[in-house]
């Protein structure tokens, strides 16, 4: 069992090591895909064994519960799609001269390191180790954002590293303060940062110090999750990254950071009551949705448009977390999974559009459905998922979030969020229709779809449909995760 | 070591720690700023060293030695290598906030640090915890340096000051976080500085200099 818990962390590291030794080639790229797939498979295996309980590993440094399993499934699914698409994407970049051998080799090493850091972040029992893993994702993705080495890519990388490092440093200060409070509540110094120990001592934590820690943790992990006020890096970094990395950052990294915040919330709620984090999450979430919706309206760049759509969804997830009931947590986890796959679809399709036009301006792209059935369809399906329309799962998750918010007497926040989401909906529909429908401009370049990108896109569409039509074991898993976080009914 | 010597040394270290932060705000020469950062690293390492020797705890002394090597030697040397060779690259460009105003703001931030840390001191009023406002002041000053300076290197220095301030807080209130977390956090800081160093070099090649005002292509 110990070993099974190590698989999601070690498998990608082995792939990274292989890529470091052999460079970017078919073999190393395939091993990376297998490593991502093994995250998914091992997560399912651990999930089947633990049910609603928790399992420790490596001297209690690691701990898997239903929330870890949920997040590992998101990492594994989107990771598999993104690494699979990377094969064709990077080969095309090499052929077009956008990157060189060295750049491709670095990409081959950093992507699996990134996956491994995220797996560690969701499996860590010690919240200090969790913090180290989340900061490690910033370091691992820095050169992925700057992969193309253009001036805008450099600018995006600088902003990303500086803003996220400062944000996450604040979260570390919060962690140190929580450690201090935990020691004074009677925990021993070796275990005072363990999640299970903190939960146990949470009611005895000093409220004044915990309040200070809570504010810092919300700001810090909020920065990594794309929440106001440290959100300014997001659109730049997500739009400059290579498409598969954008998919991973938008679809997975934001929600991994948010899952850290969920864990912190479950401790803080026990110490301070639910009011403090609820207010903080409502303010941050609603402001994030507001900013994302207003910038979506004026957007002229399709990758930035997708980035702001991610911000909008993270804002909604934060608002759902503020409600904090079992239904709300379960709904937001479904939202995170469905959004992850949907975002992977649109970003991977957008990557091929960018490659064909050598531009990310919405105005440059016309009649995609008529020009490439595969790219057009997957971009359209991805947009429909993000719009929250049936038959896809975000329809169900948004409905459940609304029900949960009404149940938690947050109708006003729900009303405000829905209003802003309608604005975002209209902007996405307008821009999406402009790119997809109609007849293509004469002289539009051909859209080439490498085989691996095509495979990832088709799989993503099938997975989204399956998740929308049959919930399978997920409702049970999500409810177990909500219970593990101590969410009230 | 007597109780009085211990308290005196701890206050001295915390005071020197804060003083280097104020001097960094005052100076404009990038090499001088990096040197001050090395001094700050020494003051930071002195805190766990004094605590470890006073309590006779070898683990804390070991952490202190690691901090000394990393924060007073390795990181400043890494940053020093990024300072440009051209004249205009060696100084901070015209500041957004002038020196007098900067120093006044620094004083204000220090007062604020005392207000913010009251709950921490109330929970555990020991000698070490009483010095925590100095560490918090450095954190606030570091954020101020990051938003008011325009050279890439100054921002990296601000980030390291922030990191130092948080580490000092940890040493003062809890005698340091568990070793595994301390090592992980130090490793992250090291990598972050390496990344910022490489990016500064790339920026110099792409833009001709490292003025962050150049970074204005991406906007909505």
Whether residue B219 is contained in a domain is answered as no
Distance CA A225, CA A219 (A): 10
Q: Does residue A216 sit at the B interface (CB-CB below 8 Å)? A: no
- What tokens does A267 get? 């401790």
Neighbouring-strand partners of residue B91: B29
Mean pLDDT, rounded, of chain A: 95
**Of the partner residues A151, A161, A239, the one whose CB lies closest to the CB of residue B206:** A151
Per-residue pLDDT, A8: 97
Flag if A132 and B215 touch (Cβ within 8 Å).
no
Per-residue pLDDT, A1: 53
Distance CA A348, CA A369 (A): 16
Q: Does residue A177 sit at the B interface (CB-CB below 8 Å)? A: yes
Distance CA A204, CA A217 (A): 19
Whether residue B62 is contained in a domain is answered as yes
pLDDT(A292) > 60: yes
- Is residue A36 a contact partner of residue A83, using CB atoms and an 8 Å limit? yes
Residue window 239-278, chain A: list those with CB within 8 Å of chain B.
239-240
Q: Which residues in chain A have Cβ-Cβ distances shorter than 8 Å to B207?
A: 151
Q: Which residues in chain B have Cβ-Cβ distances shorter than 8 Å to A109?
A: none
Distance CA A164, CA B218 (A): 17
Q: How many domains does chain B have?
A: 1
List pLDDT tens digits, range B114-158: 999 999 999 999 999 999 999 999 999 999 999 998 889 999 999
Structural domain spans, chain A:
2-484
Per-residue pLDDT, A349: 97
Distance CA A121, CA A221 (A): 12
Q: Which residues in chain B have Cβ-Cβ distances shorter than 8 Å to A240?
A: 218
- Is residue A165 a contact partner of residue B159, using CB atoms and an 8 Å limit? yes
- Could you give the C-alpha distances from A472 to A342, A457, A475, in angstroms and in order? 18, 22, 7
Chain centroid to CA A349: 18
What are the pLDDT tens digits along chain B (220 aa)? 889 999 999 999 999 999 999 999 999 899 999 999 999 999 999 999 999 999 999 999 999 999 999 999 999 999 998 887 666 677 776 778 889 999 999 999 999 999 999 999 999 999 999 999 999 999 999 999 999 988 899 999 999 999 999 999 999 999 888 888 888 898 899 999 999 999 998 988 888 888 888 788 888 7
- Closest-CA distance of chain A to residue B192, Å: 6
- Closest-CA distance of chain A to residue B57, Å: 14
Q: Chain A to chain B, count of Cβ pairs less than 8 Å apart?
A: 133
Flag if A208 and B203 touch (Cβ within 8 Å).
no
Question: What secondary structure does DSSP assign to A352-391, as a single string?
Answer: HHHHHHT--BGGG---HHHH-HHHHHHHHHHHHHHHT-TT
Whether residue B220 is contained in a domain is answered as no
| Burial bucket for residue B56 (CB in 10 Å: 0-12, 13-18, 19+) | exposed
- Closest-CA distance of chain B to residue A216, Å: 12
Length of chain B in terms of residues written: 220
Q: Does residue B207 sit at the A interface (CB-CB below 8 Å)? A: yes
**Of the partner residues B143, B188, B199, the one whose CB lies closest to the CB of residue A154:** B199
- Closest-CA distance of chain A to residue B182, Å: 9
Residue window 115-144, chain B: list those with CB within 8 Å of chain A.
116, 119-120, 122-124, 139, 143
With a pLDDT cut of 70, the percent of chain A lying above it is 100
List pLDDT tens digits, range A224-271: 999 999 999 999 999 999 999 999 999 999 999 999 999 999 999 999
pLDDT(A404) > 90: yes
Q: Range of B159's domain?
A: 3-214
Flag if B212 and A61 touch (Cβ within 8 Å).
no
Q: Give the side-chain half-sphere CA count within 13 A for A446.
A: 3
List pLDDT tens digits, range A72-87: 999 999 999 999 999 9
Neighbouring-strand partners of residue B151: B211
């Amino acid at each position: 069992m110990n070993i099974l818990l190590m698989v999601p962390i070690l498998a990608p590291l082995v792939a990274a090591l292989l890529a470091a030794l052999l460079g970017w080639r078919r073999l190393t790229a395939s091993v990376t895909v297998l490593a991502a797939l093994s995250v998914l498979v091992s997560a399912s295996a651990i999930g089947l064994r633990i049910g609603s309980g928790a399992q420790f590993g490596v001297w209690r440094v690691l701990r898997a519960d239903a929330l870890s399993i949920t997040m590992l499934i998101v990492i594994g699914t989107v990771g598999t799609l993104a690494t699979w698409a990377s094969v064709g994407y990077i080969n095309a970049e090499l052929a077009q001269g956008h990157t060189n051998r060295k750049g491709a080799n670095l990409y081959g090493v950093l992507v699996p390191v990134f996956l491994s850091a995220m797996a560690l972040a969701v499996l860590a029992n010690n919240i200090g180790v969790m913090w180290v893993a989340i900061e490690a994702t910033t370091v691992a993705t820095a050169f992925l954002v700057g992969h193309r080495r253009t001036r805008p890519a450099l600018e995006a990388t600088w902003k990303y590293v500086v803003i996220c490092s400062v944000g996450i440093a604040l979260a570390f200060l919060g962690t140190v303060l929580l450690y201090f409070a935990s020691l004074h509540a009677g925990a021993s110094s070796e275990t005072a940062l363990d999640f299970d120990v903190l939960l146990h001592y949470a009611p005895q934590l000093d409220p004044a110090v915990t309040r200070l820690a809570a504010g810092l943790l919300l700001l810090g992990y909020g920065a990594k999750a794309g929440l106001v006020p440290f959100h300014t890096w997001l659109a730049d970094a997500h739009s400059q990254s290579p498409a598969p990395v954008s998919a991973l950052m938008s679809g997975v990294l934001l929600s991994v950071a948010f899952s850290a915040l969920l864990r912190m919330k479950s401790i803080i709620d026990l110490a301070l009551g639910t009011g403090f984090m609820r207010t903080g999450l409502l303010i941050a979430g609603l402001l994030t949705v507001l900013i994302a919706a207003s910038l979506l309206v004026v957007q002229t760049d399709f990758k930035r448009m997708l980035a702001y759509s991610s911000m909008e969804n993270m804002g909604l997830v934060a608002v759902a977390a503020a409600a904090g009931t079992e239904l709300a947590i379960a709904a937001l986890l479904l939202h995170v999974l469905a959004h992850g796959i949907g975002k992977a679809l649109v970003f991977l399709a957008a990557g091929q559009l960018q490659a064909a036009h050598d531009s990310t301006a919405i105005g440059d792209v016309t009649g995609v459905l008529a020009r490439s059935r595969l790219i057009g369809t997957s971009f359209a399906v991805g947009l429909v998922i993000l719009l929250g329309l049936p038959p896809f799962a975000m329809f169900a998750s948004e409905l459940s979030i609304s029900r949960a918010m009404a149940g938690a007497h947050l109708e006003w926040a729900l009303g405000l969020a829905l209003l802003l989401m309608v604005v975002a909906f209209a902007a996405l529909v307008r821009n999406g229709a402009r790119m997809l429908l109609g007849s293509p401009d004469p002289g539009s370049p051909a859209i080439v779809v490498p085989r691996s990108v095509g495979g990832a896109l088709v799989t993503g569409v099938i997975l989204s449909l399956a998740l929308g039509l049959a919930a399978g074991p997920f409702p049970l898993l999500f409810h177990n995760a909500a219970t593990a976080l101590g969410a009230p009914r | 070591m007597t109780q009085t010597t211990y308290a005196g040394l701890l206050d001295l270290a915390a005071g020197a720690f804060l003083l280097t932060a104020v001097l960094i705000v005052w100076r404009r020469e990038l090499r001088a700023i990096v040197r001050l950062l090395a001094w700050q690293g020494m003051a930071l390492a002195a805190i766990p060293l004094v605590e470890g020797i006073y309590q006779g705890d070898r683990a804390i002394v070991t952490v202190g030695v690691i901090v000394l090597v990393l924060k007073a030697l390795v990181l400043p040397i890494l940053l020093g290598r990024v300072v440009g060779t051209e004249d205009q690259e060696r100084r901070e460009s015209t500041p957004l906030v002038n020196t007098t105003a900067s120093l006044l703001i620094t004083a204000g931030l220090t007062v604020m640090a005392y207000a913010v840390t009251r709950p921490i001191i109330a929970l555990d009023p020991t000698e070490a915890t009483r010095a925590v406002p100095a560490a918090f002041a450095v954190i606030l000053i570091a954020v101020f340096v990051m938003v008011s300076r325009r050279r890439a290197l100054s921002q990296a220095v601000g980030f390291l000051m922030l990191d130092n301030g948080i580490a000092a807080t940890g040493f003062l209130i809890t005698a340091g976080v568990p070793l595994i977390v301390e090592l992980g956090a130090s490793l992250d800081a090291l990598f972050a500085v390496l990344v910022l160093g490489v990016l500064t070099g790339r920026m110099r090649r792409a833009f001709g200099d490292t003025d962050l005002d150049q970074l204005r292509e991406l906007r909505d």
